[in-house]
Structure 1
Amino acid sequence: MVYNRRLHAALGIGMWCLATGCLVTMSAPAGAQLITHRDLSLSAALAIATAASEHCKSQGYKVSVAVVGREAQLLVHLRGDGSPPHSMENSYRRAFTSVTYRQASGSVEKRVRADPGDKLVLLEHIMPAQGGLPILVDGDTIGGVAVSGSPGGEKDEACAQAGLDKAAELLK
């Protein structure tokens, strides 16, 4: 057992107070409070995913779309008719990447190409590839949306952006 002077002093004061009947109060540090934040609702996540999927479908692309919350928890995952099997995993990983880095997964791709030593890419779900976008409200990243399955990351990202644009009113 490691000797801890602060613990010993606190116990000593506590024992002295028990013996003498003094009153000791404990208080939280100044400024201690609950953390408040906004979270992405299911209806907003569904609207984003549906709009992204429909935009891609209108372009003739068969894709999967993932929407995750602020802690990368999966909220909505859609697999379009005929989309490639890998598109489900890729869409989730791109959305995860956007939330983790708090930027477009395409920006992460550029960053990693410039500095392959980036240690975050060692995380299990990171995918530095274009197609994922963070969902921002007043500068706070509250989630991510990503698309996979179109013939190029720029097209995936355009579909993700279309989903965000369509649901913009829900994010206010």
Structure 2
Amino acid sequence: MCGRKVISGRAAFVALASLFLVRPAAAEEALVTYKSVSPDIAFEIAQAALKRCREDGLQVAVVVMDRFGAPLVLLRDRFAGLPSATTASSKAYTALSFRSTTAEFAKGIETKRLDAGLGRLPNVVAMAGGLPIEAGGGIVGAVGVSGAPGGDKDDACAAAGIEAVRDRLDF
């Protein structure tokens, strides 16, 4: 056998199997797991927000985005202004991008805590009516509402949308 060590069939099998069973730490870091609002929950959020605005006599558009900024739902009431859908989308995008409500974002620009140039970025608006959707300590999406006379009313509708599904978001 010329100095070669012979490994039994069982030992070779165990050694080979251990290569497949033990995953190095680098492999675990190669993949990420995330949570995002589902299309069904996004639809419920949008419906509840629209319902709240209608109850208040307001015609608005509602957009719900996933955690990556992709729109999942757009609902526009029949008499909502033409820019309302685009503005609602920008509000959701802003809330998601800056990880805060758009009312807080607007206040940050107004008080000069944030650079005014941020409000001029594409798809960013410094107007109330956009809220991040949070679950399990992280942001899983955002909702934007636009069309009411005053961002506080848009905010209230967006909050009502999130509140309608809150029990299924908290875990």
User: TM-score, normalized by length of structure 2?
Assistant: 0.80
How far apart are the structure 1 equivalents of 2:115 and 2:95?
19
Mapping 1:70-149, distance limit 5 Å? 70-115=67-112, 117-149=115-147
C-alpha displacement of 1:81: 1.5
Q: Does 1:41 align with 2:38?
A: yes
- Aligned partner letter, 1:117: D
- Aligned partner letter, 2:126: P
* 1:101-142 alpha-carbon deviations (Å, 9 max, x no partner): 011000000011122625433431111110010000122111
**Matched residue SS, 2:29:** coil
* 1:139-160 alpha-carbon deviations (Å, 9 max, x no partner): 2111100111111100000000
How far apart are the structure 1 equivalents of 2:149 and 2:27?
54
- Aligned partner letter, 1:163: G
Contact in 1 for aligned 2:58/2:147 (Cα 8 Å):
yes
Aligned to 1:170: 168
Corresponding pairs, count: 146
Question: What percentage of aligned pairs have identical amino acids?
Answer: 34
C-alpha displacement of 1:31: 5.9
**Matched residue SS, 1:130:** coil
Q: Does 1:59 align with 2:53?
A: no
**Matched residue SS, 1:83:** coil
Contact in 2 for aligned 1:44/1:171 (Cα 8 Å):
no
User: TM-score, normalized by length of structure 1?
Assistant: 0.79
Aligned to 1:158: 156
C-alpha displacement of 1:171: 1.6
How far apart are the structure 2 equivalents of 1:40 and 1:30?
27
Unaligned runs of 5+ in 1: 1-26
- Aligned partner letter, 1:66: V
Question: After alignment, is 96-105 or 116-125 more displaced?
Answer: 116-125
Contact in 1 for aligned 2:136/2:169 (Cα 8 Å):
no
How far apart are the structure 2 equivalents of 1:144 and 1:30?
31
Superposed CA RMSD in Å reads 1.7
